[in-house]
Structure 1
Amino acid sequence: MEADQPKRFGTIFTKNIAISSNTKLFRLDFKKGESFNFLAGQFVMIARKTEEGKEVKRAYSFCSPPYEKGYTEYCVKIVSGGAISEWFDKLPLNTEVEIIGPYGKFVVTDFSKDILMIAAGTGIAPFRGMIKQLLHDGFNKKIHLLYGFHSEHDYLFRKEIEQLAAMHKNLIVRPTASIPENPSAWKFDTGRVISIVPKYIKDTNFSTFVCGPPPMVKDTVNELKNIGFNEKGIHLDVWG
């Protein structure tokens, strides 16, 4: 499937669910009969008009896969004073929301290799859609997900990810909490996600993707280069 050329769509805001103390899952439904094609890993611009009539736009990755038709979902950290996130969170359901897209090249194009995904925080968003689409399409190489977050309560989509890993043995998940609130009950790695890269990644034969805030992406790329990865071959999605 190919992605559509970017254009404006009017969608309907139908879901606002808390998935952590500061992060929401938002769903936008397309109007009946409207077609929208995108690739897992791409993003849209969500747009609104201010009281002064100025258009404000922010980029959000799809966290739902393309095979789930009729709607798209977004994993949004709510920032106080955020031009879009706070507005979005306060928006009544069934309100129309304009999106512009799809955009982006943070997509899998080489299906002959194992895939390495490294995420921090809401950087899990594009990977959720990518993983679900790959598994839905019968991808049989290994998918390695290294995912870092602050505490175990910030492990976004944990139940869903663990269920997918249990159902698909080629999905290998390595979560790490920087500061677990209950260290004795946390049975996985601790520390920043960069700290577990050399522990689990021993060669460079991957299609590689990194998503997170600028310092995390920079440090992760440097660590991958130390292992022997070619920086030009690493797909990056930097936000914040």
Structure 2
Amino acid sequence: MPVPSFTTTCLSNCVIARDIYEFRLRKPKGFSFKAGQFVLFDVPLLENPTDIQTRAFSIASAPREEELLFVAKMKKGGRASRWIAESLQEGSTVRMQGSFGVFTLKPENAKEYLFIATSTGVAPFRGQIIDALQSGDMRRMDLIFGVRSEEDLFWVEELQKLSTQHPQFSLHCSLSVGSSAWTGHRGRVQTVTKSAVPDAAMRQVYICGSPAMTMEMKKMCMEVWKIDRKDLHVEGYI
């Protein structure tokens, strides 16, 4: 079966935190996805636009939202990072394939949700949480969102607003190197999760972030908390 391909337009692109860009695309006609899936973008080499390679990005939107939202952490010299920072702008034509992936919610599982993310690993969880809330899911859902310092946080205001509007959702931000003014959690998500969510071992757990974090968190879930493999869903990024 051929992979669906789409051509769309960039609606906005801006810096929202240290080395973090957020860009929005018009949702192409006929494009569909499940919250948590990803697309492949055609990313040109800036010095030679005919040299195209694909790069995967998680969709941060919920399916009912009108636009497609993405977030990217800049990697010095990276092809996609340069494309986003130096070329992508309002009105730019963007070509993509998808949607792909099985990192999606399992609503048939009656257990409550626990989402654990570092940096841009929070992208699929934004869409999943909004989708679950829009669908009327009343079970508990907690998001552990870890970054290095205050300058690396993003989407916090929006997520806090969701937690106010929907008491079943709670946001727990943690900084590994926070300033003296920081009053939230401190430490890596690996050390913060159990204190923030005492019944973590009873949840269905979704983990997304750096390979090192996801591997360590997965090991903790399986070996320490004894979480069943069917209740554990992991996606890493490079």
With structure 2 as the length reference, what TM-score do the two structures score?
Answer: 0.91
Distance 2:174 2:10 in 1: 33
Asked if 1:99 corresponds to 2:117, the answer is no
Paired residue for 1:88? 84
Cα distance per residue 1:158-184 (max 9 Å; x no partner): 10011111111100221110001x22x
Q: Mapping of 1:144-223 within 5 angstroms?
A: 144-180=142-178, 182-183=179-180, 185-199=181-195, 200-223=197-220
Q: Is the 1:212–1:238 contact (alpha carbons within 8 Å) kept by the matching residues of 2? A: yes
Q: Is the 2:218–2:234 contact (alpha carbons within 8 Å) kept by the matching residues of 1? A: no
Distance 1:78 1:217 in 2: 20
Paired residue for 1:79? 75
Paired residue for 2:44? 49
SS of residue paired to 2:17? coil
With structure 1 as the length reference, what TM-score do the two structures score?
Answer: 0.91
Distance 1:30 1:145 in 2: 27
Give unpaired runs (5+ residues) of structure 2. none
Q: Is the 1:198–1:227 contact (alpha carbons within 8 Å) kept by the matching residues of 2? A: no
Distance 1:74 1:52 in 2: 22
Give unpaired runs (5+ residues) of structure 1. none
Q: CA deviation at 1:114?
A: 0.6
Paired residue for 1:233? 231
Distance 1:8 1:122 in 2: 25
Q: CA deviation at 1:140?
A: 0.3
Distance 2:135 2:15 in 1: 29
Distance 2:22 2:200 in 1: 35
Distance 1:113 1:158 in 2: 25
Q: In percent, how many aligned pairs have the same letter?
A: 27
Runs of 4 or more, structure 1, over 3 Å off, are none
Aligned length: 231
Q: CA deviation at 1:204?
A: 2.9
User: CA RMSD for the aligned pairs?
Assistant: 1.6
Q: Mapping of 1:12-91 within 5 angstroms?
A: 12-31=9-28, 34-50=29-45, 51=48, 53-69=50-66, 71-91=67-87
Distance 1:61 1:233 in 2: 21
Distance 1:238 1:216 in 2: 8
